[in-house]
Amino acid sequence: MDKLNFNVDVKFNLLNEINRLKKNPLFADVDITIENLNSCLIMEIEYLNCQKCKGLANCQNFNKGYFTIYQDGEFLLTKCQIKKEEDNLNTRNSLIKTLYMPKNIREARLDNFNINSEERREIYKEIVNFLTNYDTDCHKGLYLYGTFGCGKTYLLGALAFELAKRNINSLLIYFPDLIIELKGSLKDDRFSEIINELKTIDVLMLDDLGSENMTTFVRDEILGPVLNYRMAEGKPVFISSNLTPDQLRTHLTIFDNALDSTKAARIIARLGQITKSINMGRRRYNGNS
């Protein structure tokens, strides 16, 4: 703890300071002496600073977000409520891994999700059910499809926040940019590392599947293996797309032959096993909520 420097002859009389502090209810349980006067003065200053708190960034205490208390015969540093809340938020955010997601999605909250249609009420119910039963059952994720701006991505962001509150790791990725990242990772051997993360994260969320340039590499080396692994391990997947499941099947069919159609159909079948398809409709919402 930093010390306050004082000159007895010039600045103040120590005994007068001790007597002054003894009248302060803050020190009702403290036996104030010359030896602990420094700690008492720091405790008083920090208490006064906290009374006029203007937020953690403007904290005037010796240790930002902390103040001194007297407990069990000792002067101890303790976190203020604002510091506790910030630390809790940072802990939650550390559980949310997002790639290529805008700020409004990273800050999405389920409480702000509009439930003013039958489809959206059903989606909300599915999300709450998934969260409530995550620890007891292996539930399907969701395949959310609908037009641009209907709130698909916002809902995934809100789900990521709710998962973090429950100490569940999630990964929310904008799928087209993920593909670019993976193709680039082939040059520095990070491909396997990224694929392993996609396979093993507690809850995987792929945003905007179907808007990428689909190739056999993307389908057979990335999407297929990831979905197969997560299905086998019972790990949830949430997907958003502008395409209906039938349209996605067409998107996944690269060449017009039986083998390619079978590969596309196999992925659609996997999606049907690990997700429930819900149409979010065509209505656009301000803020994508």
Helices (H), the chain: 14-22, 37-51, 81-95, 103-106, 118-132, 152-165, 175-185, 191-200, 216-217, 224-233, 245-252, 258-274
Tell me the mean pLDDT per 10 residues along the chain, length 289.
50 79 92 90 92 89 90 90 71 59 84 87 92 82 90 92 88 92 84 91 95 94 95 95 96 94 95 93 63
pLDDT of residue 187: 77
User: Do the beta carbons of residue 37 and residue 18 sit within 8 Å?
Assistant: yes
Confidence (pLDDT) at 214: 94
Is 0.75 topped by the overall pTM?
A: no
Interacting residues of 43 by C-beta distance below 8 A, sequence separation 6+: 26, 27, 67, 68, 69, 70, 75
Nearest CA-CA partner of 214 in 223, 206, 226, 205:
223
Using DSSP bridges, classify how beta strands 275-281 and 96-99 pair: parallel, antiparallel or unpaired: unpaired
Q: What is the pLDDT of residue 222?
A: 94
Q: What is the pLDDT of residue 125?
A: 93
Two structure tokens written together for 87: 């630390």
What pLDDT sits at residue 8? 46
- Tokens coding 107: 């800050």
The pLDDT value given to residue 2: 54
Rounded distance, CA 57 to CA 34, Å? 33
Q: How confident is the model at residue 87, as a pLDDT?
A: 63
Three-state SS for 251?
helix
The domains of the chain, with CATH numbers, are 14-79 (no CATH), 90-288 (3.40.50.300)
Sorted by sequence, the CB contacts under 8 Å of residue 95 that are 6+ apart come out as: 163, 164, 167, 168, 169, 170
Output the pLDDT for position 189: 76
Which pLDDT score, from 0 to 100, does residue 259 have? 93
Instruction: Determine the pLDDT at residue 100.
Output: 63
